Amino acid sequence: MLTNKQSVKNFLLKLQDQICHQLENADGGAVFEQDLWERTTGERLGGGGRSRIMKEGLVFEQAGVNFSHVTGDEMPASATAHRPELKGRKFEAMGVSLVVHPRNPYVPTSHMNVRFFIAEKEGEEPIWWFGGGFDLTPFYPFDEDCQEWHAVAKSICEPFGEDVYTQHKLWCDEYFYLPHRQESRGIGGIFFDDLNQWDFETCFAYIRAVGEGYSKAYLPVVDKRKHLCYGERERQFQLYRRGRYVEFNLVLDRGTLFGLQSGGRTESILMSMPPLARWEYNYQPEPGSAEAQLHQYLLPREW
C-alpha cells in the first residue's frame, strides 16, 4: 500500500508555521519562541521536533504549537495494548499538537492535533494510520459560538462521507469525558484514531482539512470574545475549570501517555498544561449563576 511519509512531514511543518502566524496575528503582541530538540535518551530511539510557545500575550496567556517526528525500534506499551500486531515493529510517529489557553475567561481554551503513525517490519506490509481532531473548552459558553464551532467541523467532514461528522463527533464526546467527574472536558468537536479505512491519499486529505480547518473554527470565536470585560470572579472560575483540563491530560489522555512512554521530550509533551490553575475542595457554584450554567454544556448534545 503506497504511503508518502515525507509529504506528511512537509505538510505538518507548514501547518505549524501557518497556525503560529495566525495566532500571533490574533494576539497582536506576543510571538512564539522556538526550541529545537532531538531525542538522545537511548540508541533505540531517534527523531526530534520543534516546540513553539507563546507566553503572556495580550489575548493568549499561553499557547503551545508543537511539531514532533520520533522513531523507535519498538512501539511503547500504550500503543501495543490495543494493537498487539504492532509488537516487534519499528515505528515512526509525527504530528502537530497545540493547546491555546486564552487570558480572558470568555474566550474558550482550544486543542488540536493531527498525527501519522507507521510501523514497519522487513518482509511485511507496513501498518499505518492517521489520527487527530479538535475540541473546544469554554468556561462561559455562548450558544452561537458552540454552534459555529460544530458547523465548521461538520463542513470539514462532509466531503469524506455523510456519516463522518456523526461518527467523529461521537468519538470526541466519548474520548474527552472525565468519568470521575461525570462530565465532558468541553463541548467537543471531532476526534478519530486508527484512520486507514480509505486509501492513503484520502486519509491524508482528511488530515489536511482538519488541520487547516481548526483556525477557521477557532479564531472567529476568539475575535468575538477577547474584548469582553471580566473580573476576579470570572478569573477564579477560569482557573478552577483549568484544573479539569489538567486532570484529563494527566489521567486519561493517551497522547500524553504515548509521548512519555516513547521517550518524548517532557517539556513539549506537558506544554498542554495551563500556566495557572487551581483546585477547590467540594466547590459548588451559586445556583442560577453563569458558573452553574456551564454544567449543562458539559453533557454531549447535538449542536
Q: What is the pLDDT of residues 19-47, one digit of tens each?
A: 999 999 999 999 999 999 887 655 567 88
- Return all residues near 303 (Cβ < 8 A) that are at least 6 apart: 146, 147, 149, 150, 151, 187
Per the confidence metrics, is the pTM higher than 0.85? Answer: yes
More confident residue, 220 or 39: 220
* Binding-site annotation, residues: 97, 101, 111, 113-115, 150, 180, 263-265
161: alpha, beta or left? (left if phi > 0; alpha if psi -120 to 50): left
pLDDT at 60: 98
Q: Which residues are annotated as a binding site for a divalent metal cation?
A: 101, 111, 150, 180
Enumerate the known binding-site residues for substrate.
97, 113-115, 263-265
- The Cα 113–Cα 131 span in angstroms is 8
How many C-beta neighbours within 10 Å does residue 87 have?
13
Read off the pLDDT of each residue in 228-237 and give the average, rounded to a whole number. Answer: 98
The residue type at 293: Q
Residue 288, C-beta contacts closer than 8 angstroms, at least 6 positions apart? none
> Three-state SS string across 86-99, please?
HCCCEEEEEEEEEE
DSSP state of 193: E
Q: What is the predicted pLDDT for the residue at 94?
A: 95
Q: What is the dihedral of CA 159, 223, 32, 8, to 10 degrees?
A: 0
CB 18 within 8 A of CB 31: no
Residue-range domains of the chain with CATH? 5-298 (3.40.1500.10)
Pairing of strands 127-137, 177-178: unpaired
295 is catalytic: no
- Catalytic annotation, pick one of 21, 69, 82, 111: 111
